[in-house]
Structure 1
Amino acid sequence: MALALGAAASAAMAQSPLTFKFGYGLKEDSNQGRAARVFAERVSQLSGGRLKMEPVGAAKLGSDDAMQKAVSAGTQEMMVGSTATLVSVVKEMALWDAPFLFNGVDEADFLLDGAIGQQIMGKLPDKGFVGLVYWENGFRNLTNSKRPINSLGDLSGLKLRVMQNDTFIKAFRTLGADARPMAFAELDAALRSGAMDGQENPFNTILSSKFYESQKYLSITNHVYSPWIVLASKKWWDKLPKADQEIIQQAATQARDFERRDTREEADRALKNLVEKGMQVNVPTFGELSRMRNRMDHIYARDIGEKVGLPLLLQVQNELIGYRDRKRK
């Protein structure tokens, strides 16, 4: 029996590892790339080398939208991408586009990793996905070439590039900006030519894209928290043994924790670097940010509420109120 077991073990070890691809959009030296490498390392370690994840970055497997279609169809195993591009597939993902939803990263972690985040992930299998974890892109902030944004009135008439997302467009037009949707690939040229006055992105993206070369002012508004989501193809996932699913899930959770720490540390460094590059940084007062937030009431009721459902929106608000009350005690 011992000889038989030994032979079986040797045969299993001799088998080729199960290899699968993990696509992401940013460059290999980005926070996405670093986290993808950690994810692959954890998969290999936890499986004893039996599972091999191949990270493929720089959008070599396509845009987020293209990869999502491939993952849903089962022609690509895994990816990480923006929740914003999933809204057309799972309307409840629009919750994460809600302006001024979170006051800090701790609130984002609480909601994303808790019951509500899992509840929204639970909508994915019907669309061909399995959601594993949420990663962090970061809070989005405003830059422009005209003036500091210290008050609501400072946004008036500002030609502002926003993502090709209805909620973003409506939100900034409500705040008085001339919000215009534009593909990210076209943004740098538009800022340099003056076709656009400004844009909004996390510090990391502002730095890596060298927007400081055309944008003088950086206003820390933290107006939207942008999550990424790690997805697996349901067709592929359902064929895996449960033990392999558990290994990949555990590795994804460990990579998520690394990615959030890394992204937050990078954001701190990026902000310091942007100041060194000559950007003028300002923080609107709590009162002015509250004025902006109050303008979002009808966006929440009509846009976010219609997409995610008012019961879910109320549940989110109650969860955040409870969290903030506990934090104050």
Structure 2
Amino acid sequence: MKTSTTKRLTTLVGGTLFALTTLHANAATQMPPFPEVTGDKVEADGEYKIKFSIGTTQSGAQYRGLEYFEKIVEERSGGDVQVELFHSAQLGDDLQAVSNLQSGTLEMTAPSTSPLVGMFPEFAVFDLPFLFPTPEVADNVLDGEIGQRMLEEASRQGLVAIGWAENGYRQLTNSETPVKEPADLEGLKIRTMQNDIHLDIWRTLGANPTPMSFAELFTALEQGVVDGQENPWITIEASKFYEVQDYASETNHVYTPFITLVSARFWDRLPAEYQQLLREAAKEMGEYERKVSRTLNDQIKQELKESGMNITELSPEQVKVFQEKLAPVYDEWRDEIGGELIDSIRQVSQ
């Protein structure tokens, strides 16, 4: 019998899934400019300071989004709400930051959903393969009724969830062969996070999934301990995996969002006018951060091609073969995650 989701869905945390990375300077300089801050000035009693901590680096899309959040909040509050940003897990990894929100020693954080599965089992839906076929589907789900319902579900245990942003799609690289179909994965040792759904994905595809710390990954690839790995383009480039991986496949097999969280202790002290300001700023930050994330990913994929990496772009027909092969993963996890949630997301993509 399957053990509880909390026990089974263990994940690597602290931003190491996608986050402990540094982009090339030329990519960072091409980030989309900040949109103009719009909206009336918000007036309320009191002055407030917000410490906003993330696990990703200062040169990534997420931090760029936080800078826009800071700009919106400070301009529209006339400086009465000040935002101080902390990157690279300076105040602790994702779970530590969430714990600090609960205790009231930190005001805001924005982890990816994977480390929060133990607290909110329904977030495991974001680990299912090929559930979000396009970024537009992800946007429609997260910005619509489903996303709002999940924000409300996450607004407990000392947390208030106020918005979504994008961590992005994971891609496959390896040192052995181009991967165009599941048969190409037979016997390949693929490093994955310690996450039961991800292990099921690669095992079902015929690979040999090998859980491993992100910090050990480059050396393991270099020494042939594992043949491949899967991460977003940003992480692949920044971690220089192209130096030890000749082949990549743009699989887009898992889409992961960031969720913007506020300490309930801090939230309850805020005037309603500033609560609404934070909600509006989080929404605008998420929209802008997605644009930055997708721009950087497009730039970086092109850079990897130019560096000599052999990148396979799967056709819709090829993707369908992977999806059909992975049907048993959905059967295995449907009851534990919630069939209604899975079906409602699938309906959006029809």
Query: Which amino acid is the alignment partner of residue 203 of structure 1?
Result: W
Q: Is residue 2:166 matched to residue 1:156?
A: no
Residue 317 of structure 2 aligns with which residue? 287
Percentage identity across paired residues of the two chains:
38
Matched, 1:221 2:251: yes
Deviation of the 1:120 alpha carbon? 1.4
Shift of 1:16: 8.2
Which structure 2 residue ranges, 5 or more long, are not aligned?
1-42
Cα separation, partners in 2 of 1:258 and 1:193, compared to 1, 3 Å: same
Give per-residue Cα distances to partners, 1:135-157, cap 9 Å, x unaligned. 11111110011111011111111
Q: 1:302 offset after TM fit, Å?
A: 2.0
Separation of aligned partners in 2, 1:244 and 1:121:
19
Larger of the two Rg values belongs to structure: 1
- Corresponding residue number in structure 2 for 1:307: 336
CA distance in 1, matches of 2:153, 2:252: 28
**Secondary structure in 2 aligned to 1:137?**
strand
The aligned counterpart of 2:25 is none
Deviations 1:246-272 (A, max 9, x none): 111111111111101111110110001
How far, CA to CA, are the matches of 1:160 and 1:286 in structure 2? 23
Letter in 2 for 1:310: G
Matches within 5 A, 1:1-329: 17-303=47-333, 305-321=334-350
Work out the CA distance in 2 between the residues paired with 1:75 and 1:299: 39
2:104 and 2:265 in contact (8 A); partners too: yes
SS, match of residue 82 in structure 1: coil
Cα shift at 1:125? 2.1
Contact 1:94 1:307 (C-alpha < 8 Å) held by counterparts: no
Distance 1:149 1:249 in 2: 42
Per-residue CA distance 1:278-298 (angstroms, 9 max, x = gap) = 100112343332121112222
What CA distance in whole angstroms lies between the structure 1 residues aligned with 2:153 and 2:213?
28
State the TM-score, normalized to the length of structure 1.
0.89
8 Å CA contact 1:136–1:260 kept in 2: the answer is yes
In the alignment, is the contact (CA less than 8 A) between 1:46 and 1:251 conserved in 2? no
1:167-225 superposed Cα distances (whole Å, 9 cap, x missing partner): 11111111111112222222122112211111111111111111111111011111111
* Amino acid across the alignment from 1:157: G
Name the aligned partner's letter for residue 319 of structure 1: V
Going from structure 1 to structure 2, the CA distance change for 1:33 and 1:238 (only over 3 Å counts) comes to same
Deviation at 1:32, TM superposition (A): 1.5
Larger proportion of helix = 1
Q: How much has 1:124 moved relative to structure 2?
A: 1.3
Contact 2:137 2:348 in 1 (8 A): no
Q: Give the corresponding residue for 1:324.
A: none
Distance in 1 (alpha carbons) for counterparts of 2:222 and 2:96: 29
Unaligned runs of 5+ in 1: 1-11, 322-329
CA contact (8 A) 2:237 2:304 kept: yes
Q: Distance in 2 between matches of 1:31 and 1:232?
A: 20
Amino acid at match of 2:342: L
